[in-house]
Structures are given as structure tokens and as C-alpha cells.
Chains A and B, each alone.
Chain A
Amino acid sequence: MRLISLNVIYTLWLREMKRFLRAKSRIVGSIIQPLFFILILGTGFKSLGRFRGLPLGTDYLSFLVPGIMAMTILFSSMFAGISVLWDRQFGFLKEIMVAPVSRVSLVLGRIAGGMTTAIIQALLIFFISLFFGFRILHLLNLLPAFFIMLLIAVSFVGLGVALASRMEDIHGFQLVMNFIIMPIFFLSGALFPLEGLPGWLAKISYIDPLTYGVDALRGVLVGSFSFSLALDLTILLVFSLLMVAIATYLFNRCEV
């Protein structure tokens, strides 16, 4: 048995793609919420005029869209990771767990699937927001943006798998939603600049890994960094590797 089997990863990825493409309402649903954010929140805050801390030369829409793309990836990835719980509920997890394959491959397969669907959704948001007047620095900047989205997705699918491995059933899901996903999102600077924040709140934001994802994405797409690309990428890379390791460790120990 190979520790990392591409065949196993592909098999799990393929399953996720089939399920994703079959659930049309899921695709629509996952796009609607971020669009509301962009349309309503974007327009609403824009009407307040320029606010403190917004980087020069950017309006609120260009500030908001990268943040909402990061949000889409966060939500979608966490759901994909936590879908381990649904597999447990419907019994399919047992089928996966008795297979003669390494647990690392199983985790990586789930990450590959979750990552793909998350990035597809974020890209959809990106293209739709072009119609609302969102502009990026250069089309080629989509390449580094893609890599950043990938790191964010890997991190949070990993976190989702790790949490799901420790949970008994889907009842804990609301807790994760309210106490983990929402704070990560609100503290990340996706909706407002961190520069103007009071010290205590800024400090909490700095320990939120998504903060660096939002900053990197905003940096490469519209050109305004709060930190530096190097710092953002380093933190994202370390965090994503850590999440994969923890997810594998906990998934390996979960009994079905």
C-alpha cells in the first residue's frame, strides 16, 4: 500500500464531482449568498462614501469582492470537510474506512474534491462580479490568485475533516457554524479594513488564518496589501500543512 495513492485521491475526487454536478440547487445556493453580500452590502456601504482605512484608489466593491471570494472558499471548504459527518450519518463512511488504502490518501482525496468545488464557486463569483464593475489589475494575476485560493481551500477542508472526525453526529454542525466559521469570516477583514480597528480586535484578527488569505487575494487581484505577499503565503502554507496533518491524525483515529 502506498502512503499517497493518486488512484484513491482521484476516486474520491470523482465521487465529489459527480455529486456536485448532480446537485444543481446546491450550486445555485452556494452562489446566491455571496452575491447578496456583493450586491446589497457592496452597494449599501458604497453609499456611505469612502471610509477610513480603505486603500487609496479602491472603491468598496473592489475591496469587497476578493473578501467574498475568500468567504465562498471558506464556507464551501468547511462544508466539504464536515461532509465526513454526512457520510457517517448515511453509513458511507464505513465503506471508505474498511478499504485497504492509507488514511492520508482518504483525507487528501476529500481535500481534492472539496478544493475543486470551492474554487469553482469562487471563480463563478469572480466572473459574475465583473458584471457589477469589478476590475482586477491584470488577467495574469488570476494565476497567483488561483494558488492562494488553493491554499485557503486545503486549509479549511482540512479543518473541517479534523472537526468532523471529533464529532459524533451532525448536531454539532450548528456549533461549528456559529463558533468557528462565522468568527473566522468576520475577523478576516473580508468586509472591512483591519487598519482602522481598535487594538484588541486587530490582535484577534491577526491570529485568524483567513486574514492572510483575504489579504493575499486582495493584494494580487486589486493591488492593496495590508501585509506582504511573502508573509501571507508563508502563513497560509504553514497553516494548510498543519491542517492536513491534524486532519489525517484525527481521521485515522475516528471509529465508525
Chain B
Amino acid sequence: MLLLNSIEVKDLTRRFGDFTAVDKISFSVKEGEIFGLLGPNGAGKTTTIKMLTTMLKPTSGKAEVCGYEATADPDSIRSSFGIVFQDPSLDNQLTGYENLDFHARLYGISKERKNPRIKEVLKLVGLENKKSLLVKNYSGGMCRRLEIARGLIHYPKVLFLDEPTLGLDAQARHTIWDYIKKLNQREGITIFLTTHYMEEADFLCQRVAIMDSGKILTLDSPENLKNAIHQDIISLEVSDGQKALETLREFNWIKEAKLHNGFLDLRVESGERKIPLLVALLQKENILITSVNLHRPTLEDVFLSFTGSTIREEEATPLDRARMVIRAQRKG
């Protein structure tokens, strides 16, 4: 095998009693990729991560990370990944440095390499100045960054991020996104993340799998996913709307055309390629174009088209709200 996939999942299933949390899912994640599992709460994302990281045994199916199988070889698999959990997992009574030191020792990092490495990861997440502070005094965003730093100490090939920005404010979220991108580009780490934020999946991931009720509904790059639902809307402000409508009626690549308040809304595929065409066509008919606007579909539209409901309608369980409160209560 020349090109090894970092993560290989085949028919993975986990049942809790009668409830099937993860239902025969299959996918693979390429080396060096940022891969996202997008879906509402209860979709089975965390259960999937737990099976990949040996915290939960699969009911059936196969989960491999870096060529090691989760059930057959838990210790090899454990050394090969780093993980940032959905809920806080730091020791509040220890300082930031001590939390990292604990991790480095547990993962058997040698004495000589330990301190330089801790310095390195602290710098990466911008916490050098806060390392001697007890973690109980950290803000939610700082905890997240410390957890990311911790997950990196033992040079993992794959980093799992379970809802990395849940409950963080916009600024902290963007900081975390920057770190994730930086890690992927500079250190070449494969990143597997779960999220229920559309923007997050869209901004970070090279490929996204949309998951709902334990199943993967579709998997592709955010770009392709959005293109596949043929939902670009081109809005044209024209001098003679009625005439424009007549002119364009004969083209079957226009899925739908609507005229309102002097604006002509056209539903088309790959809108960016249709704009020049439209401009040329209308100019030939001497119709004046005052403005052009292209509305691209979001992953939200993709999710809607696959599940029939928006992700926001499905989210915000009581547990989720409690998490937000807990994080909000942290200082700063």
C-alpha cells in the first residue's frame, strides 16, 4: 500500500441497548487532511470519535487509526493520536505547565525532550505567559488552547478535535481556527474534527461528512457539496425585467427565474460561471445591468436538502445549554 489512509472506518456500528448511535458508517481520512464530521447533537459524532480513540468498544465493524485497529491494538493506536475532548478534561488544581508535564510523562517523553517540547507547544497556542497559572483561573478559550497543546506533545500523527469551539465566543473561535489551520499546514498533522457549526466545517475542512441519526448521509469537499445541490442564486438588477425574463426563458440551465422589484432571481448551477454568460446575453438585447449578486448555498442548505430540517432546529439539547453555562462561568 503506497498511500496510507490515516483513518479507515468500515461498517462501524455502536448500539446502546435498542438504540443505534452509530449505524454501519464507512469512510476514510487521507494523511494530512482536515476532515470534518458535521451533524446535530445526538448524530453519533462523539460516539464515533470515542470508538476511534479506544474509549468505547464498537458493537461491530472496523476502526483503524494509522493502520492500527482500535480493538486489537489499543496501545499502538493510543500513542499515534492526540485528542481534544468535547468537555473540559484538564486538572484544575494544577498549573497549565503541570498539566502538560503530566501528559508528557505519561506518554513517556524523555527528560531531555520534555521541557523543550512543552515550551514549543505552549508557544504554538500562545500560552507561554500563562503556564504557571492554575488552570482553574483560565478562561474557556485558554483551556481549549491548552488542551490542543497537550494533545500535540507526543507528536501525534492524527489529532481528534471533538467540537473544538463549542461554547466559545466569536473571537476565541477564530483564534482556535487559526491554530488548527496552522497545525495542519506547518506540522502536517491529520485533523479529524466534529462540529455542528456549519461555518466551522466550511472554513476548516477539506472534506466533510454530514452525519444524522447515526448515518453518514453524504461526504465530499464543502465546495462540491454546495455545488451538488444546484442552489446558486444570481440576482440581477436590470432596466427591463420583463424583457430579460423573456430572453432567458429558453435556456434550460436556468432552473428557476423570478422577477421581483426590478430584480431578477435565477437559480442555476455553478453561478460564478454563468454570470459572464448572462451579461453577454442581456447586453445583446440592450438590457442594462445595474448590479449582479451571487448567493452561494451554505452547508446549512446542504444539510437541509439531505435531512429536510435545519441543523439549528435539531441542536441545543439541555446538556448543550449546561455546557455553555459552565464555559461562560469561567473567568475572562
Residues in chain A within 8 A of chain B (CB atoms): 1, 7-8, 10-11, 14-15, 18-19, 22-23, 90-92, 94-101, 255-256
Q: Is the CB of A100 within 8 A of B89?
A: no
Q: Tell me, rounded to whole Å, the shortest Cβ–Cβ distance linking B68 to chain A.
A: 11
Residue of B nearest to A11 (CB): B105
- The number of inter-chain residue pairs (CB within 8 angstroms) is 67
Q: Is the CB of B93 within 8 A of A19?
A: yes
Interface centre among A8, A15, A91, A95 (most CB of B within 10 A): A95
Q: Is the CB of A92 within 8 A of B55?
A: no
Q: Tell me, rounded to whole Å, the shortest Cβ–Cβ distance linking A70 to chain B.
A: 28
Q: Tell me, rounded to whole Å, the shortest Cβ–Cβ distance linking B16 to chain A.
A: 11
Checking A18, A91, A100 against B79 with a beta-carbon cut-off of 8 angstroms, the contacting residue is A100
B30 sits at the interface (CB 8 A): no
Q: Tell me, rounded to whole Å, the shortest Cβ–Cβ distance linking A29 to chain B.
A: 16
B108 sits at the interface (CB 8 A): yes
Tell me what chain B mostly uses at the interface: helix, strand, loop, or mixed.
loop
Q: Tell me, rounded to whole Å, the shortest Cβ–Cβ distance linking B327 to chain A.
A: 12
Q: Is the CB of B94 within 8 A of A15?
A: yes
Query: Hey, which chain B residues are within 8 Å of A91, CB to CB?
Result: 85, 87-90
Residues in chain B within 8 A of chain A (CB atoms): 53-57, 74-76, 78-79, 83, 85, 87-94, 98, 102-103, 105-108, 150
Q: Is the CB of B106 within 8 A of A94?
A: no
Query: Hey, which chain A residues are within 8 Å of B78, CB to CB?
Result: 98-100
Distance A99 CA – B102 CA, assembled complex (angstroms): 11
Query: Hey, which chain A residues are within 8 Å of B57, CB to CB?
Result: 255
Residue of B nearest to A23 (CB): B93
Interface centre among A8, A23, A100 (most CB of B within 10 A): A100
Query: Hey, which chain B residues are within 8 Å of A94, CB to CB?
Result: 55, 85, 89
Checking B53, B56, B91, B92 against A15 with a beta-carbon cut-off of 8 angstroms, the contacting residue is B91
Also in contact, A98 and B83, with CB within 8 A (given A7-B105, A255-B56):
yes
Q: Tell me, rounded to whole Å, the shortest Cβ–Cβ distance linking A120 to chain B.
A: 18
Residue of B nearest to A15 (CB): B102
Also in contact, A100 and B107, with CB within 8 A (given A91-B85, A91-B88, A255-B56):
yes
Q: Is the CB of A92 within 8 A of B90?
A: yes
Q: Is the CB of A92 within 8 A of B105?
A: no
Distance A98 CA – B91 CA, assembled complex (angstroms): 15
Q: Is the CB of A99 within 8 A of B53?
A: no
9 A-B pairs closest in CB distance? A100-B78, A91-B89, A11-B105, A100-B79, A100-B75, A99-B106, A1-B75, A19-B93, A95-B89
13 extra interface residue pairs, beta carbon distance < 8 Å, beyond A18-B93, A96-B106: A10-B105, A11-B105, A15-B91, A15-B102, A91-B90, A92-B90, A95-B150, A97-B55, A98-B53, A99-B107, A101-B75, A255-B56, A255-B57
Q: Tell me, rounded to whole Å, the shortest Cβ–Cβ distance linking A115 to chain B.
A: 19
Residue of A nearest to B147 (CB): A95
Q: Tell me, rounded to whole Å, the shortest Cβ–Cβ distance linking B261 to chain A.
A: 54
Q: Is the CB of A98 within 8 A of B54?
A: yes
Q: Is the CB of A8 within 8 A of B90?
A: no
Q: Is the CB of A90 within 8 A of B88?
A: yes
Residue of A nearest to B76 (CB): A100
Q: Is the CB of A256 within 8 A of B103?
A: no
Distance A256 CA – B75 CA, assembled complex (angstroms): 17
Query: Hey, which chain A residues are within 8 Å of B108, CB to CB?
Result: 7
Distance A100 CA – B107 CA, assembled complex (angstroms): 7
Distance A75 CA – B181 CA, assembled complex (angstroms): 49
Q: Is the CB of A101 within 8 A of B106?
A: yes
Distance A193 CA – B108 CA, assembled complex (angstroms): 50
Query: Hey, which chain B residues are within 8 Å of A255, CB to CB?
Result: 55-57
Q: Is the CB of A19 within 8 A of B55?
A: no
Also in contact, A18 and B106, with CB within 8 A (given A91-B88, A91-B90, A92-B89):
no
Q: List 15 A-B pairs, Cβ < 8 Å.
A: A1-B75, A14-B102, A15-B102, A18-B94, A19-B91, A19-B94, A95-B103, A96-B106, A98-B54, A98-B55, A99-B78, A99-B107, A100-B78, A100-B79, A101-B75
Distance A11 CA – B56 CA, assembled complex (angstroms): 25
Q: Tell me, rounded to whole Å, the shortest Cβ–Cβ distance linking B28 to chain A.
A: 22
Q: Is the CB of A90 within 8 A of B106?
A: no
Q: Tell me, rounded to whole Å, the shortest Cβ–Cβ distance linking A6 to chain B.
A: 11
Q: Tell me, rounded to whole Å, the shortest Cβ–Cβ distance linking A9 to chain B.
A: 11
Distance A23 CA – B79 CA, assembled complex (angstroms): 33
Q: Tell me, rounded to whole Å, the shortest Cβ–Cβ distance linking B2 to chain A.
A: 27
Query: Hey, which chain B residues are within 8 Å of A10, CB to CB?
Result: 105
Distance A95 CA – B150 CA, assembled complex (angstroms): 10
Also in contact, A22 and B106, with CB within 8 A (given A94-B85, A255-B56):
no
